[in-house]
């Protein structure tokens, strides 16, 4: 169902966000994981062990940070309509 779709998950370092990342990756999605906790986010991305996972340390309440992760993988946004999922622990 999510094969090759882009999913951007904020709050992805732990809890519901991490669980969502695991589920969507199993369903074939390309993931952009976002969180303000860089250490935990990097650990989550590494634990997923997939080339379909990118991550960016960012505060989604700041426009400059949002632009940073949107520009990190611009090819994600040219070929499909991304799904944004915001998770808060």
pLDDT at 66: 86
The CATH code of the domain that includes 75 is: 3.40.50.720
Domain tally, the chain: 1
pTM: 0.85
Q: pLDDT for 5-57, tens place per residue?
A: 888 899 999 999 999 999 999 999 989 999 999 999 999 999 999 999 999 99
Domain that holds residue 34: 6-86
| pLDDT given for residue 53 in this prediction | 94
**Residue 51 β-bridge partners:** none
Whether 1 is covered by a domain: the verdict is: no
Whether 22 is covered by a domain: the verdict is yes
Tell me the β-bridge partners of 84: 8
pLDDT number for residue 77 = 62
Residue 78 lies in a domain: yes
Top-confidence residue, 50 or 68: 50
Q: Do the domain assignments include residue 73? A: yes
């Amino acid at each position: 169902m999510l094969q090759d779709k882009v999913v951007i998950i904020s709050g992805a370092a732990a809890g519901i966000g991490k669980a969502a990342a695991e589920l969507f990756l199993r369903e074939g999605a390309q993931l952009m994981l976002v969180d303000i906790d860089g250490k935990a986010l990097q650990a989550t991305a590494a634990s997923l062990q997939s080339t379909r996972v990118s991550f960016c340390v960012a505060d989604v309440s700041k426009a400059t940070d949002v632009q940073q992760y949107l520009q990190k993988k611009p090819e994600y946004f040219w070929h499909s309509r991304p799904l944004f999922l915001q998770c808060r622990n």
